[in-house]
A and B are shown apart, each in its own frame.
Chain A
Amino acid sequence: MTLSKEDWQDILGHTRARVREAGLAEIDMQVTMDFRTTESSGADFLRYLTSLISALGERSYSGYQRTLDTFRECLRSENGKPIEGVEIRIEDRDYGVYGTSLVSLADQTDLSIVIGELKNLRKELLEAGLFDEEVSG
């Protein structure tokens, strides 16, 4: 059964409201900031869901761990030991903005459960055949 354009628009609005209620308004804003809707509302919803999962990953310890694991697979430090972490060095001229000289990207909240739930939801919707073939592919 394929849902109508209006159905998908309603589902997208519902999802955005739930995301904001969950305290993730900043992430919703990031995902929708440059969002251009298309002719396919189903594709728009799928795009929102995919971008939401990625945006959560960028704020999650699981995203940091995945990044660190990838570095450790292919990069070594000069003494031959594994990479210990990833950090942002704040330039002197930016110190006034951030109030610190170093930000460790390891200091992330673990959002792996919500990411996993949303990935499962995305998979379930795709397997239910709710989207056009072009979108699902």
Chain B
Amino acid sequence: MKKSAVKSKVTRALRKGIKGAKADIEGLVPKAFTAGKLYEAYVLALICQKLRNVEGCGLTLIGSTKVALKSSPGPINTSYPHIKVERNGQHFANIWTDVEFTSLSAVHSGKSPLTLGDYHEIDIAVVAPSASSRPHPNEVFLAVECKNTGYQKSLLRETLGVRRELSMLQDPHPTAFTTWPSAVVPAVPPSCIAVYSSDPAVLSYAGPGSFFGISFYHEPL
């Protein structure tokens, strides 16, 4: 296939696909904010799917009939809808979105009150049922980062920072999960970290991630 043929196919695909929808697009293309939130919702749905199909958990949405995401991060707000996770009939965990956790450095130094650098955002957090406000690292079972923009090295550094403030590097320890996302991680407290991105480049960063118990997934919507 020649270059001119590829260019023609690109032009045709966009013209044909956009025909008739263009007026709508110009008026209704949601903000990047909304797109990011839909991606976050999609990843949350994938997490629920994995917990149900691989871990054998039962999941119930508490406090609403609609899944709700927050506009910005903060402490756990118990008046917000969340997902209750049960395993073998026991209340195993809760899933919250856009929550902040208390950093390992703040916990170890006994710092109070917390200042801006003492807590960090998690897009999707699977935490112990008892976790409230800003969960401590030992209450975090799984922290999920969602990136619907181009994945680059600074995002890897950001995730490595979250790893550092959640756990110490140790020999493999069992996690709260039997199989997915990981049965063991080289960390104490043994929290799992997962990074989801719509950019295939995310997989290029899997090397250092696996060393520290971080899983990377390319999941386009």
Contacts and interface: CB of A to CB of B under 8 A. Distances in A.
Interface in A54-75: 54-55, 57-59, 63-64, 66-67, 70-71, 73-75
27 contacts: A3-B6, A10-B3, A19-B14, A22-B14, A23-B29, A30-B148, A47-B201, A51-B150, A51-B200, A58-B39, A58-B198, A59-B29, A67-B42, A67-B221, A70-B46, A70-B49, A78-B60, A78-B63, A83-B61, A83-B67, A84-B66, A89-B70, A90-B71, A98-B71, A105-B41, A108-B28, A130-B6
Contacts of A50: 200, 220
Interface string A98-137: 1000010101111101111110110011001010000000
B67 A86 contact: yes
Interface in B1-53: 1-3, 6-7, 9-22, 24-26, 28-30, 32, 34-39, 41-42, 44-46, 48-49, 51-53
- The 10 A-B pairs at the shortest CB distance, nearest first, are namely A114-B17, A34-B150, A54-B220, A70-B45, A54-B198, A117-B17, A58-B35, A57-B221, A117-B13, A74-B52
Contacts of A115: 17
Given A85-B66, A116-B17, A54 B148 contact: yes
Nearest to A63: B221
Interface string A80-95: 0101111111110110
Interface string B110-126: 00000000000000000
A89 B69 contact: yes
Contacts of B83: 75
Contact of A71 (B36, B45, B63, B64): B45
Contact of B148 (A18, A23, A58, A121): A58
B198 A55 contact: yes
Given A14-B10, A57-B220, A118-B17, A81 B65 contact: yes
B3 A11 contact: yes
Interface residues of B, number: 70
Nearest to B7: A14
Contact of B67 (A19, A23, A85): A85
Given A53-B220, A66-B42, A124-B9, 17 more contacts: A22-B14, A30-B35, A47-B199, A47-B200, A51-B198, A71-B44, A71-B48, A75-B48, A76-B59, A76-B61, A88-B34, A91-B70, A111-B25, A114-B13, A114-B17, A114-B18, A115-B17
Contact of A130 (B1, B72, B221): B1
A113 B6 contact: no
Contacts of A27: 29
A34 B151 contact: yes
Nearest to B32: A30
Interface residues of A, number: 75
B193 to A, nearest CB: 20
Contact of A88 (B25, B62, B70, B198): B70
B14 A71 contact: no
A87 B14 contact: no
Contacts of B149: 30-31, 33-34
B174 interface: no
A103 B41 CA distance: 13
A26 interface: yes
Contacts of B198: 51, 54-55, 58
